[in-house]
Amino acid sequence: MQMVYKNSKMNISFNKILAAIIIVVGLCFNIYFLKDFKYESGIIESDVINYYAFLPGLIIENDLTFKFIEDNPSKYSTRYWMFKTENGNYVSKVTLGMSMMYAPFFLGSHIVAITGGFESDGFSVPYRVGILLGTLFYVFFGIYLLIKLMRKFFNEIVISFVVLLVFLATNLFYYTTREAGMSHAYSFFVIILFVYLVDRFYNKPSLVRSLFLGIVFALILLIRPTNGIVGVILPLWNLSNEGFNNRVVFWFCKQKKFLIVFLIGFLLAISPQILYWKIITGNFFYNGYSGEAHFHFLNPQVINSLFSFRKGWFLYTPVMLFIIPGLFFLYRNFRNLFWAVLAMFVLSVYLNSAWWLWWFGAGYGNRGYVDFYGVYALAIAAFLQWFIGKVNPGKIIVISGLVIIFICHNLFQVAQYMHGSLHMSGMTKEAYLFSLGKLYPKPPLYEFIVEPDKALAAKGIYPKPIVKRKTEEEWVKFYEGILMKNQDIVKMIELKANKREFLLIRC
């Protein structure tokens, strides 16, 4: 049975909701990033270095072979992480998608840098601000499209709660603020855009919509290739009035023209990547992660991925537990949405769990799921729609209380992560329980941290972390190792020691 809701009498201004969300993001932008503008390493860091490199390489250095790195290795080693190919060129291990998304804001930042007296090297303040503004832009429109899509099925109050939960009660908030340049907020937008276009296509099929579907699907792959699993939405969306067999007949027999145009759009959008690989490496395909990363499809770490103290998705983002009952109510009340959402949920859990680094390295929570939050939101909405039923003050108070609890939980954990109470990758049961309610880390915390063994993970072996408290001698060696990795700190300590010795001699 399909239930479609029009705007209720208690109409809520979604423009006000969206404005409030942007204000919150803007505040986070000021709080978290203002200090980072002083440092080149701020914002353009970690994986963002790879995503971003194509833009300064092409527009500022005019050299996508990146051979200019050899002219000044000390300058460029922190700006470009490239691999040298057999023909002497340098290639990035990532695809072009994120640079495509950054591009409009990069160009605007480049103009500001040139006209505003900043260094126009691609790494000064305007360029980093541009990335942040781009993230805000894409998340804003991702939420806007999600609202438009949900309005076809759910009432206004439910949509309000879902929007607040998806943004403020999940790690989407973190990847829109503290690590805004990462791919997750951008993937959140393009995946919602794809779902929205699929829905519009089936309402009124057209060649133009089919073309855009192909382009957007290619962009999804270019940003994060594993997100290609969203392709299952195309055949499974809105199957209430026709079976899967009829959908196959539609695409491959009756209306082949739509499939052909879809493929044309896909090839047009993917062609810059293929040409780049061919020109730089000599091959039409290049796997930048070859030998470095892979999947263990026969050994997916589903329990760890969902519940582990290291990075369990449901543990760090408990609001997503609503998906489980939500799938039941999707099946019962919105079956036309159920099969697509179920397929996305199952595939995403399986794929993220099978990734050799199932905790996805450093970061807040299990970031591998953030990209799909727009799809998961439909299941959460189905659950809330059932719970609220006929609107009454009591149920609204209960849901409002839960929303506040989940939001406060998430924001507090983000603050914990920022201050170091939650470790980026080495959390254990002991460390998590010790950090409960503590905004700042206490010294014993570090004795409970156990870093994952990547060498074993590469083989598909994931031993249970064993906490072993260090002796005094082991702690001395531990901190010596940290200090020796940072020569600036060593020099500062030596300078202070020399000054103290000088003062003692004078005395």
Axis crossing angle, helix 183-203 with helix 125-150, rounded to the nearest 10? 30
Provide the whole-model pTM: 0.90
Q: What's the confidence (pLDDT) of residue 292? A: 73
User: How is the chain split into domains, by residue range?
Assistant: 14-37+129-419, 38-128, 433-468, 470-507
Q: Identify the DSSP state of 44.
A: S
**Cβ neighbours of residue 322 under 8 Å, at least 6 residues apart?**
165, 379, 380, 383, 384
| Spatial separation of the C-alpha atoms in residues 436 and 448, rounded to whole Å | 13
Closest alpha carbon to 98 in 196, 215, 184, 33:
184
Q: Is the pLDDT of residue 170 over 70?
A: yes
Query: What is the mean predicted confidence (pLDDT) over 301-320?
Result: 97
Cβ-contact 132, 33 below 8 angstroms: yes
pLDDT tens digits along 444-485? 898 899 999 999 999 999 999 988 877 777 767 777 776 666
Q: Is 206 helix (H, G, I), strand (E, B) or coil?
A: coil
Q: Span 358-386, mean pLDDT?
A: 96
Tokens of 134: 């781009």
Residue 11's pLDDT band (cuts 50, 70, 90): very low
CA torsion 444→429→315→426, rounded to 10°? 60
- Rg of the chain in Å (alpha carbons): 25
Whether 40 has a pLDDT exceeding 60, the answer reads no
pLDDT over 50 (residue 224): yes
DSSP assignment of 316-344, as one string?
HSGGGGGHHHHHHHHHHHBHHHHHHHHHH
Which tokens go with 118?
């900043």
Q: Which two tokens stand for residue 44?
A: 């353009």
Residue 3 above 50 pLDDT? no
Q: Kindly state the average pLDDT of the residues 8-28.
A: 60
Mean pLDDT calculated for residue range 203-213? 96
Query: How is 56-113 classified by DSSP, letter by letter?
Result: IIIIIS--TT-GGGGG-HHHHTTT---EE-TTS-EE-SS-SHHHHHHHHHHHHHHHHH
Instruction: Answer for the pair 168, 23: CB distance below 8 angstroms, yes or no.
Output: no
Q: What is the structure's pLDDT at 498?
A: 62
Q: Please list the residues that pair with 90 across neighbouring strands.
A: 84
What CA–CA distance (Å, rounded) separates 336 from 1?
8
420-435 pLDDT, tens digit per residue, is 999 999 999 999 999 9
Give the model's pLDDT for residue 74: 81
Cβ atoms of 118 and 111 within 8 Å: the answer is: no
The packing angle between helices 335-354 and 323-333, to 10°, is 150
Gap between the terminal Cα atoms of the chain? 89
Give 128-175 as a DSSP string.
Answer: HHHHHHHHHHHHHHHHHHHHHHHTTTS-HHHHHHHHHHHHHSSTTTHH
Per mean pLDDT, which range of 2-11, 52-61, 445-454 is the poorest? 2-11
> What pLDDT is attached to residue 10?
44
- The stretch 212-230 carries a mean pLDDT of 97
Encode burial over 90-110: b for 16+ CB neighbours within 10 A, e otherwise. bbbbbbbbbbbbbbebbebbb
- Classify residue 461 by its DSSP letter: -
Burial of 67 per CB tally in 10 Å (0-12, 13-18, 19+): middle
Sign (positive or negative) of CA dihedral 55, 59, 60, 64: positive
* Two structure tokens written together for 254: 């009756």
> DSSP 3-state assignment of 295?
strand
Classify each residue of 330-354 as buried b or exposed e, where b means 16 or more C-beta atoms within 10 Å of its C-beta.
bbebbebbbbbbbbbbebbbebbbb
In Å, what is the CA distance from 2 to each residue of 153, 162, 268, 329, 338? 8, 20, 37, 11, 11
Strand partners, 295: 355
The whole-number pLDDT of residue 167 equals 92
DSSP character string of 483-503 = HHH-HHHHHHHHHHHHHHHHH
pLDDT band at residue 507 using 50, 70 and 90 as cut-offs: very low
